[in-house]
Chains A and B, each alone.
Chain A
Amino acid sequence: MKSIKKIIIFALMLAGFSVQAQFNPYVGTWQYKNGNEVFIVKLWEENNVVLGYYKKITVDNNGNQTSLVFTSRIDYGNGDYFLPYTIYGTVSTDGINAGFRDNTMTNIDSDYKDGKLHMKITNFGNYGPPGCNDCTTATWKVTDTGGMYVNFVEGFSVPTDIVLTKLSDQVVFD
């Protein structure tokens, strides 16, 4: 009987480890606050690919939203969202390297401007993902894709070099 209990405990430990191993520390809701403006990034995972949306809002002194500056999750009505995601990439020990789509720019003649996103948790310690020492801050860098450009417009509407703070491991769309 004792040995059965040991086996069950061992199996549970293994199961716990398995869940731990599958945990992606990038998944969740991140933010960057600058004055009364808050840039929010929401990342989730599908089939080992990290997908995401982002938005910018303004808040009052109590942190309550006062306006929506822009969102990449554009609703065309009845839940018909423009793009299924605006961040698409993979996670490695170098963090997230992803395609980034800025569909919130108003000065371009196409649906969006492509870019590259590199996001990396700042303090992984000696572990590497998923065992970060501090999974709550990450660098966020958006750059141009490289390659030939047609009707190129400088810059992006989003911050291009910041440090994000994790708000939650959850993603809630609003």
Chain B
Amino acid sequence: MKQTKLLCLFMGILLTFTACQEDDIEFTREKSGTVTSRLINYDELKAMPKAMAKLQKIKEEKLKKSVYNERYDFTVDTTEVLLIEIGDYHSLTFSIIRDSTYDDTVENLVLNWEPYDDYLAFKAEYNLTEEEKDKIRNNEHVDLTNKERLTILFSFVPETVLKFNGGGNEEQIEYIDGECRRGRWVRVRSSSSIPGQIEYSEWRWVYEPVPCPEENIDHSWTEGNNPGGSGGTHIPVFNTPYPTSDNPVGENTLPGGGPIPHNSIITLPKVDTKAIATPKECKKINAILNITGMRGKLTTIATHVNDANDEYGFATNSDSTFTDFTPAPEITFTYNNTSVFNAVSHTHNLNKLSVFSFSDLVAIAKMIKEGSINTDQFIATLSTAKGTHYILTINNVNKYKAFFYHVIKDFGDLPVTERTVYRHSLKRADSLMTKYYNSKTGLIRTTNNNNTFDLFHFMNLLKEADLGVSMFETDANFQSLNQIGKLDSYAPVKRLPCQ
């Protein structure tokens, strides 16, 4: 028995060794020619209709709730695009912007021109230090080995899930031609043909031979029940409910049409000039703050924060006029079916919270339900007796609606199938409200005198609720503007200036 075990072990080692010596299978087409790269602006990008169509498709994927995936939860900066060309090949590299722009990871969207005259979308990630980012900004050489990762961004159609195991990411193992192979994008070249220019990366889709994972061996198929066989038998790696294909991935047809092999991907990291706040949200805020009289009104209500009884507030209408709210212990807004607001501003007077209250967030949800705010442009401002001045924007109204589903929807109007969603939304909101705002046991309380502590937990709430909002800090005159964010629940808040 011992001898049999030793023999099996030896055979196993031998097979592994043999597998390692085999060549990788590549499903990419090499390119030749001189590499050129340059930055193009949005106007030039608009002249590339297929690229624009691809961006639109990515945007649509992002909005599909049923296929929501964190990978698509980003904003693509189209103001400055890196164009790399080699002969008839080119790629477009965009900066990706997320709420948490404080992460060290540089994320780029790469549209890669394919032989069948269309683009494939990829996400390139680079784990870079601030020093390395600065070097790239200065066109200095940075060795990207083991710092990069490339993933494909496909539609989440079942066929795609089948063929690419969730998007052609790493760790994909397939059973091809009697071998287990792991498909992944491999950075095969790292050089620049332009003296003094930063290096670029060339990626190819490669199937590397790997030992078959244990779970892919069906031990029931042994010599005993499979005469003539010996040991376990490999079963298909992708045991999905979808129809399976016998062809290796590389021979299948892509969702957009056209066969693989396709072009290798040539890109280089596109690092933002420096860490800044989300430009879109900054622009939104500045557009409102720059309305004639807006800052004056904000500073005026801020002078009332020490009022013993009343809060003050006003709304900024879509026609840039203002509607004052009656000063009261709590600001009350009655929707009259005519006003549409771009901003709602209010104060927290003495003995109130230093940040937005949960009821403030609910009130915004009700405004969305009533259709009384332009969610694309909306900002909410807050000045408090504790000396804080904040601005909140909605960067993803679908997320806001999802969290406050029980506020946005009327239970009686819902089909039975949606009622569970309503109750789930309500329970989740109650749980977070209790955790953060319970007057005795919550983390954010009126009795707290530490504004940093309140802000720390408020940001955690926003993250935990995945509310789709951005938070900014400003001053009493609403001149400075810093986006607030946190990497995770333990990280301190960070402030990034609007440019």
Q: Given the complex of chains A and B, what is the CA–CA distance between A130 and B410 in angstroms?
A: 39
Separation in Å of the A158 CB from the closest CB of chain B? 18
**Is B47 in contact with chain A by the CB < 8 A criterion?**
no
Find B359's partner among A94, A118, A148 (CB 8 Å cutoff). Answer: A148
Separation in Å of the A43 CB from the closest CB of chain B? 15
Q: Given the complex of chains A and B, what is the CA–CA distance between A90 and B427 in angstroms?
A: 14
Residue contact A150 to B333, C-beta cutoff 8 Å: yes
| Given A97-B440, A114-B359, A147-B362: A80 and B434 interface contact (C-beta under 8 Å) | no
The residues of A that contact B333 with a CB separation of less than 8 Å are: 148-152
| Given A89-B434, A148-B344, A149-B330: A84 and B366 interface contact (C-beta under 8 Å) | no
Separation in Å of the A47 CB from the closest CB of chain B? 10
Q: Given the complex of chains A and B, what is the CA–CA distance between A151 and B363 in angstroms?
A: 9
Complex A-B: 27 CB contacts under 8 Å: A49-B434, A83-B423, A84-B423, A84-B427, A88-B430, A88-B434, A89-B434, A90-B440, A90-B441, A97-B439, A97-B441, A99-B430, A99-B433, A111-B410, A118-B439, A145-B357, A145-B359, A146-B352, A148-B331, A148-B344, A149-B332, A149-B333, A149-B363, A150-B335, A150-B363, A150-B370, A151-B366
The residues of B that contact A149 with a CB separation of less than 8 Å are: 330-333, 359, 363
Contact residues of B between 412 and 434, Cβ < 8 Å to A: 412, 416, 419, 423, 426-427, 430, 433-434
Residue contact A80 to B359, C-beta cutoff 8 Å: no
**Is A60 in contact with chain B by the CB < 8 A criterion?**
no
Q: Given the complex of chains A and B, what is the CA–CA distance between A148 and B410 in angstroms?
A: 20
Interface residues of chain A, those whose CB is within 8 Å of chain B, are 49, 76, 80, 82-84, 88-90, 92, 94, 97, 99, 110-111, 114, 116, 118, 144-152
The residues of B that contact A114 with a CB separation of less than 8 Å are: 359, 362
The residues of B that contact A97 with a CB separation of less than 8 Å are: 438-441
Residue contact B331 to A84, C-beta cutoff 8 Å: no
Q: What 7 pairs between A and B have smallest CB-CB spacing?
A: A147-B359, A148-B363, A147-B357, A150-B366, A149-B332, A145-B359, A88-B430
Residue contact B434 to A90, C-beta cutoff 8 Å: yes
Q: Given the complex of chains A and B, what is the CA–CA distance between A146 and B364 in angstroms?
A: 14
Q: Given the complex of chains A and B, what is the CA–CA distance between A82 and B439 in angstroms?
A: 26
Contact residues of B between 308 and 360, Cβ < 8 Å to A: 313, 330-335, 344, 346, 352, 357-360
**Is B411 in contact with chain A by the CB < 8 A criterion?**
yes
Separation in Å of the B324 CB from the closest CB of chain A? 14
The residues of A that contact B406 with a CB separation of less than 8 Å are: 111
Q: Given the complex of chains A and B, what is the CA–CA distance between A114 and B440 in angstroms?
A: 18
| Given A80-B416, A147-B359: A111 and B370 interface contact (C-beta under 8 Å) | no
The residues of A that contact B438 with a CB separation of less than 8 Å are: 89-90, 97
Find A92's partner among B407, B426, B427, B440 (CB 8 Å cutoff). Answer: B440
